[in-house]
């Protein structure tokens, strides 16, 4: 199969939803590889990420978006703006809802936002409802939720999946591929994401930071890849800086005797080696930058609008 095949199809699919409903897990499941980070913390995804997969003759480009919620900070506003921008970029929108939790205030606001945009924007993408976490939701509650949401009158189809186990994901993928419009592929056949390696490496470390610290560290942290040096033996030396807002947070990340940052580095190094397929020498540093959330350069690196 080549991208120039006359029967080729291509479609951009935006995955939107409230924070922590499983959008990144679903996109990774679609692609069959890790292209976007995942953690139990809400609002882990900060920028739009493309996950690209091939299904039969169709190239499906999934737009993983930040969770949509009520923004309070500049970064929050930029993330929500990126999410709505991602929705507008899709030929199809998948509204992902946590079936186990039901419709919360954020999901309700997203539905109202989709209704407004559908009425005011020409050629607005068709919207599909995807209920996630069906493996931990009782069937009667699942059917009731589906019926309730379909009364909104904006969904063309409804699918029920478990992004974590993969249950139902194949049916959804086949449906999307079968209904994708004919057209040339937009990316090479072997490309699975648009994220640069330097940024992906920083995101993987941020994921490990979130996973190990959970509630101990607020969202006042960022990771930046400062050095990327490929060696003759095929390995790569990566130096990264973890930025925090207050000096007191430094001790939390370092841990007793530097044990915590060592553990974070080891976890990140292991996964980066698996992703890149060669040895990784990772060096982590912690720096205090009190207002990194107002640093315009960070937003440019993430593809976010500083003035959103």
Assign residue 223 the CATH number of its domain: 3.30.300.20
User: Is position 55 within any domain?
Assistant: yes
User: In total, how many domains does the chain have?
Assistant: 2
Q: Are residues 209 and 174 in the same domain?
A: no
3-state secondary structure of 190: coil
Q: Is 288 within a domain?
A: yes
User: What pLDDT does residue 142 have?
Assistant: 94
**Residue 187: which of 60, 44, 25 has the closest Cα?**
60
Is 239 buried (19+), middle (13-18) or exposed (0-12) by CB count in 10 A? Answer: middle
- Residue 211 domain-assigned? yes
Taking the model in full, what pTM does it have?
A: 0.85
pLDDT for 1 equals 47
pLDDT of residue 227: 95
The phi and psi torsions of 25 (rounded to 5 degrees) equal: -60, -40
Same domain, 14 and 68: yes
Together in a domain, 112 and 242? no
Q: How confident is the model at residue 217 (pLDDT cuts 50, 70, 90)?
A: low
So what's the pLDDT on residue 118? 77
Q: Which of 133, 150, 179 marks a domain boundary?
A: 179
In a domain, 184, yes or no: no
Whether residue 71 is contained in a domain is answered as yes
**φ and ψ at 135, to 5 degrees?**
-70, -15
Predicted local distance difference test score (pLDDT) of residue 293? 74
> 221 lies in which domain range?
197-302
The residue from 179, 212, 244 where one domain ends is 179
User: 297 versus 276: which is more confidently predicted?
Assistant: 276
Structure tokens at 103: 């419709």
Determine if residue 18 is left, alpha or beta; phi over 0 gives left, psi from -120 to 50 gives alpha, anything else beta: beta
In the structure, what pLDDT confidence band is assigned to residue 75 with cuts at 50, 70 and 90? confident
Q: Is residue 157 part of a domain?
A: yes
Whether residues 147 and 258 share a domain: the answer is no
Q: Within a domain: residue 191? A: no
pLDDT over 70, % of the chain: 93
């Amino acid at each position: 199969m080549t991208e120039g095949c006359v029967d080729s199809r291509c479609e951009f699919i935006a995955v939107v939803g409230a924070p922590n409903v499983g959008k990144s897990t679903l996109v990774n499941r679609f692609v069959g590889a890790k292209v976007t980070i995942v953690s139990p913390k809400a609002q882990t995804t900060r920028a739009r990420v493309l996950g690209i997969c091939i299904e039969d003759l169709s190239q499906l480009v999934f737009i993983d978006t930040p969770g949509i919620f009520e923004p309070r900070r500049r970064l929050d506003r930029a993330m929500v703006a990126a999410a709505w921008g991602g929705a507008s970029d899709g030929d199809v929108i998948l509204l992902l809802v946590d079936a186990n939790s039901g419709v919360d205030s954020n999901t309700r606001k997203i539905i109202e936002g989709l209704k407004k945009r559908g009425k005011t924007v020409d050629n607005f993408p068709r919207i599909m409802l995807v209920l996630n976490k069906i493996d931990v939701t009782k069937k009667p509650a699942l059917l009731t939720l589906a019926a309730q949401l379909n009364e909104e009158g904006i969904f063309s189809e409804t699918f029920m999946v478990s992004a974590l186990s993969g249950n139902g994901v194949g049916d959804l993928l086949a449906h999307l591929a079968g209904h994708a419009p004919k057209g040339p592929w937009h990316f090479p056949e072997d490309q699975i994401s648009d994220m640069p390696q330097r940024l992906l490496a920083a995101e993987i470390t941020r994921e490990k930071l979130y996973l190990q610290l959970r509630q101990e560290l607020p969202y006042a942290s960022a990771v930046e890849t400062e050095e990327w040096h490929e060696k003759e033996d095929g390995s790569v030396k990566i130096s990264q800086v973890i930025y925090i807002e207050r000096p007191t947070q430094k001790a939390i990340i370092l841990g007793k005797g530097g044990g915590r940052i060592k553990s974070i580095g080891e976890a990140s190094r292991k996964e980066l080696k698996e992703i890149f397929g060669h040895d990784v020498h990772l060096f982590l540093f912690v720096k205090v930058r009190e207002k990194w959330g107002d640093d315009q350069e960070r937003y440019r690196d993430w593809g976010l609008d500083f003035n959103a």
